[in-house]
Amino acid sequence: MTSSPPTGVFVPVPTFFKPASASKSVQPDIDVETQVAHSIHLARNGVRGLVLLGSTGEAIHMSRQERFDMVSGVRKGLTDAGFKDYPIMAGVLINSVDEVLEWLEDFKKAGAQWGLVLAPGYFGAAASQANIREWYTIVADRSPIPILIYNYPGVTNNVMVTPETYRVLAQHPNIVGCKMSHGNVSYHVQVSLDPEIDHNKFRVYSGFGQQLGPIVLFNAAGVIDGLAGIYPKTVSLLMKLSEQRPITEENLKKIQELQYIVSAGEEFIGSSGIIGIKEAVKRVLGMGTMEGGRLPLKGKLAEGEWEKWDTILGRVQKTEESIDAAEFR
């Protein structure tokens, strides 16, 4: 039987690179050791799974061997730390069906349980819903691991996967969910509540923590959220409270308080992207470097930019420090 991902908070982790000065190649080398340390930190603090090599993970800036080494290294590191079979999705960010299947084969060998497959959008305006459905069906028929549909219009020339397309593709035995990285909450709600979809098998995740409370209330499985890579306990506690039923008045008040803090913090993620996420991980958790990603994402935040977020991120940090690990287990 095909397995589906668990409900909860997943983190689209950034890929860590060693300092550029330590590399003999054109680009900084991947830093699997730091990647493992960050993954273990998230696993210990309420995060239910990882997305390696998604958009935040810069898979498109890495070689085939680097992608394999990253996934297999994290899998081994988690297992050695006592997190055997910890949930890992691996991102597939290309349009060629043959290469998509090549990536999925590699990820199966490396130890990922699912592939998060980006909707083909290079020729976005020409990508009809019928052709998107056929594309995913061909991939799912041949994929060695279950896949999720990944709709991120910001990197796919505004391709939007419609609720009807999700409904059709959700019937495929090897398609077990989706990630919607856009602000159309109506689409989240329609797909999460569609009576023709088996929601125990097909899981709906948002890419935005700003939407966590509202969409989980309406049956979404959770979020794949960047802020949780910096403040995992805060987002994980919000998830735990949001999925509890019935919702008590006391919990509703906590959900509202946490959702406000998370939504405010998410503004930093939205404004600064991968460079900001990496700098925040270094400043808050002491992991990685201040050099950003690989070109064209090299660099750090502009002078004074981090300080502008002091009040908002300070509030999230204070919340993070006040949460006992037992609260979200």
Give the pair of three-digit tokens for residue 187: 């689409």
8 A C-beta contact, residue 63 and residue 26: no
Provide the token pair at 272: 């600064």
pLDDT-based confidence at residue 147 (cuts at 50, 70, 90): very high
Q: According to the CATH classification, is domain 8-324 in 3.20.20.70?
A: yes
Q: Please tell me the predicted confidence (pLDDT) of residue 125.
A: 87
Q: Which residues pair with 23 in a beta bridge?
A: none
Domain limits of the chain?
Answer: 8-324
Q: Give the phi and the psi of residue 10 in degrees, each rounded to 5.
A: -105, 155
Phi first, then psi, for residue 116 (nearest 5°) are: -100, 100
pLDDT over 70 (residue 190): yes
Cα–Cα distance for residue pair 48/54, rounded to 1 Å: 17
pLDDT tens digits, one per residue of 8-49: 999 999 999 999 887 778 899 999 999 999 999 999 999 999
> Which region among 2-11, 23-32, 178-187 has the lowest average model confidence (pLDDT)?
23-32
265 token code pair: 């913090």
What is the Cα–Cα distance from 21 to 42, expressed in whole angstroms?
Answer: 28
Q: Write down the pLDDT at residue 1.
A: 58
Instruction: State the pTM of this model.
Output: 0.96
Give pLDDT tens digits for 261-314.
Answer: 999 999 999 999 999 999 999 999 999 999 999 999 999 999 999 999 999 999
Do residues 171 and 145 make contact, with C-beta atoms less than 8 angstroms apart? no
Closest residue by Cα to residue 7 from 55, 36, 46, 37? 46
pLDDT > 90? residue 324 = no
